[in-house]
Structure 1
Amino acid sequence: MTKPLVGIVMGSDSDLPVMKEAVDMLEKFGLSYEVSISSAHRAPELTAEYARSAVERGLAVIIAAAGVAAHLPGVIAAQTPLPVIGVPIKSGPLSGVDALYSMVQMPPGIPVATVAINGARNAAILAAQIIGATNPEVREKVLRYKEELARAVEEKARRLQELGVAGYLEQMGGAKG
């Protein structure tokens, strides 16, 4: 069995539906991963052990997701030399803005690369790019993915020119009379 390169850890099982997008992207890039649940507040020793043992387990990058106070990514980043990508989860009365602020306002020396609220897909792409910096095979997969994105936009632009605004919207099912 291949050792995981990317760790995905979340503060609650309620984050799993969002983090499934990260899993799907890592699978698209052919990157091995592990998925875990921990909590900086409710299980601090488990979280600390997860972070401290990440290198020996073979991880290269950690994606950490949390909502509300969102301390999980920062606590992990404080205890590992690996890059940590934070995914703020849309939850609570502030709809994830509190989690976003918690992750991007880390103190000097403890960086957490932070993606958009519920941005699990981008977290996985960033993880692939980090790994791809030293792995040409992964870098090539990232390049191919970006080419796919460009082709999709080009196709939409072509269809818009061909159909016009009303026809395009109708095809999308969103035409308004």
Structure 2
Amino acid sequence: MAKVGIVMGSDSDMPIMKKAADVLEQLGVEFEMTIISAHREPDVFFEYAKTAEEKGFKVIIAGAGMAAHLPGMCAAIFPMPVIGIPMHTTSLGGRDSLYSIVQMPSGIPVATVAINGGVNAGLLAAKILATSDPELLARLKAYAEDLKNQVEKKDARLKEVGYKNY
């Protein structure tokens, strides 16, 4: 059963939402991915958010651009954590999306990652789930150790070849 719902307002969001899915898959977290427009099909959206809990979702990752109401509306209906990913937009560079998601009214929180922050959204969802899943927590610790090792290898290469040849 999927523990994370990944929802986006448009297929143009897929390159960023795919990054969240890739991280969850790497960590062994089941997810379900859906494209729903909160503005163009509000009845479909409402049904998605209303039934997410009974489908077994523990966290929803919602990505949206421009007016970016999808994450906030998920949070208004779904009683568990929602992580918003503001999408980069051509008109305002994603600041419109960021402000729309992060400026939620009191009582309706949305955890918000950076503009186009798909990887961090996936990791944050996994960390939320890991509070009650020791095996997932161990995989997250291994993921962090791998990141550390990658940086150490880059530093060793820098020391070996020097900055001019890096």
CA displacement, residues 16-56 of structure 1 (integer Å, 9 cap, x when unaligned): 12211111111100111101011121111211111111110
Corresponding residue number in structure 2 for 1:174: none
Corresponding residue number in structure 2 for 1:143: 141
State the TM-score, normalized to the length of structure 1: 0.91
Corresponding residue number in structure 2 for 1:24: 22
**Aligned partner of residue 84 in structure 2, secondary structure:** strand
List 4+ stretches of structure 1 deviating above 2 A: none
CA distance in 1, matches of 2:70, 2:34: 12
Q: Which has the larger radius of gyration?
A: 1
Corresponding residue number in structure 1 for 2:55: 57
CA RMSD in angstroms, aligned pairs only: 0.8
CA distance in 1, matches of 2:102, 2:17: 19
Corresponding residue number in structure 1 for 2:132: 134
Stretches of structure 1 that go unaligned for 5 or more consecutive residues are 169-177
Stretches of structure 2 that go unaligned for 5 or more consecutive residues are none
Is the Cα contact below 8 Å between 1:90 and 1:96 reproduced in 2? Answer: yes
- Supply the AA of the counterpart residue of 1:140: A
- Supply the AA of the counterpart residue of 2:115: I
Asked if 1:158 corresponds to 2:156, the answer is yes
Is the Cα contact below 8 Å between 1:4 and 1:32 reproduced in 2? Answer: yes
Is the Cα contact below 8 Å between 1:73 and 1:103 reproduced in 2? Answer: yes
CA distance in 1, matches of 2:141, 2:37: 35
Which residue of the other structure, out of 79, 82, 89, is the alignment partner of 1:81? Answer: 79
**Aligned partner of residue 74 in structure 2, secondary structure:** helix
Deviation of 1:14 after TM superposition, in Å, equals 1.1
Corresponding residue number in structure 1 for 2:95: 97
